[in-house]
Chain A
Amino acid sequence: DTGVSQDPRHKITKRGQNVTFRCDPISEHNRLYWYRQTLGQGPEFLTYFQNEAQLEKSRLLSDRFSAERPKGSFSTLEIQRTEQGDSAMYLCASSLEGRVQPQHFGDGTRLSIL
């Protein structure tokens, strides 16, 4: 069990640029989640996948955000035309199927918009 891996750990970019983050879940986990965490707050749900299917998206996920999990393994989260308000920690988690199954989190990607 190598844990959930996220890349990059930090991303600094100028407003208006596109960014893409990658998440590699724990290998046997079929569920993958994305959350966003701003300073001093708890994580907020963005979206989740079961295998390759995106099953739920938050209203926080504007049309500038897109997430994929093409082969049911790793996932990418892309933000187009970044804005200052996108600065946050983006956390990925994975779990086995079932509501009592805990979600295991990666260390996150910290995005800073200049």
Chain B
Amino acid sequence: GDSVTQMEGPVTLSEEAFLTINCTYTATGYPSLFWYVQYPGEGLQLLLKATKADDKGSNKGFEATYRKETTSFHLEKGSVQVSDSAVYFCALPQGGSEKLVFGKGTKLTVNP
């Protein structure tokens, strides 16, 4: 079935460092792809999305490009801040249904 594989964490960076969190997917067809972020003690917030191949989603300095050739949707940010410390989840709707399938999450800690 459709699935998402996310880079294992945790990831620890210094402020202003470059961030990449890898996400690859297995899916029938070309589903929309999503990145969600979860801050401590809170629910998930949609960070960005892409709905078709070669689309680039972006928000708050984060970007991810929907790559059909490599079945990837890697999350990037050029300069992270302490406030970006959170858990990041890659997700897609499972084939033919409305339910989202999530990766296991990658915990990011940014130190000052």
A residues at B contact (CB < 8 Å): 4, 6, 31, 33, 35, 40-45, 48, 55-56, 58, 91, 93, 99-100, 102-108
Contact of B102 with A by CB under 8 A? yes
Instruction: Write out the residue numbers on chain B whose beta carbons fall within 8 Å of the beta carbon of A55.
Output: 98
Could you tell me if A103 and B104 are in contact, using CB atoms closer than 8 angstroms? no
Could you tell me if A107 and B34 are in contact, using CB atoms closer than 8 angstroms? no
Min Cβ gap B15→A in Å is 25
Instruction: Write out the residue numbers on chain B whose beta carbons fall within 8 Å of the beta carbon of A41.
Output: 104-105
6 extra A-B contacts, CB within 8 A, seeds A33-B98, A42-B103, A104-B46: A4-B43, A40-B105, A42-B104, A48-B99, A55-B98, A91-B44
Could you tell me if B105 and A107 are in contact, using CB atoms closer than 8 angstroms? no
Min Cβ gap B108→A in Å is 14
Could you tell me if B99 and A33 are in contact, using CB atoms closer than 8 angstroms? yes
In order of increasing CB-CB distance, the 5 nearest A-B pairs are A42-B102, A45-B99, A105-B43, A105-B44, A107-B43
Instruction: Write out the residue numbers on chain A whose beta carbons fall within 8 Å of the beta carbon of B97.
Output: 56
Could you tell me if A43 and B98 are in contact, using CB atoms closer than 8 angstroms? no
Of chain A, the residue at the smallest CB distance from B34 is A102
Could you tell me if A99 and B93 are in contact, using CB atoms closer than 8 angstroms? yes
Which residue of B44, B89, B100 contacts A45 across the interface (Cβ within 8 Å)? B100
Instruction: Write out the residue numbers on chain A whose beta carbons fall within 8 Å of the beta carbon of B36.
Output: 105
Could you tell me if A105 and B45 are in contact, using CB atoms closer than 8 angstroms? yes
Could you tell me if A31 and B98 are in contact, using CB atoms closer than 8 angstroms? yes
Q: Given A40-B104, A41-B104 in contact, is the A108-B43 Cβ separation under 8 Å?
A: yes
Q: Given A43-B44, A107-B42 in contact, is the A99-B98 Cβ separation under 8 Å?
A: yes
Which residue of B41, B49, B94, B102 contacts A102 across the interface (Cβ within 8 Å)? B49
Min Cβ gap A68→B in Å is 18
Min Cβ gap B95→A in Å is 10
Which residues of B86-112 have CB atoms within 8 Å of chain A's CB atoms? 89, 91, 93-94, 97-105
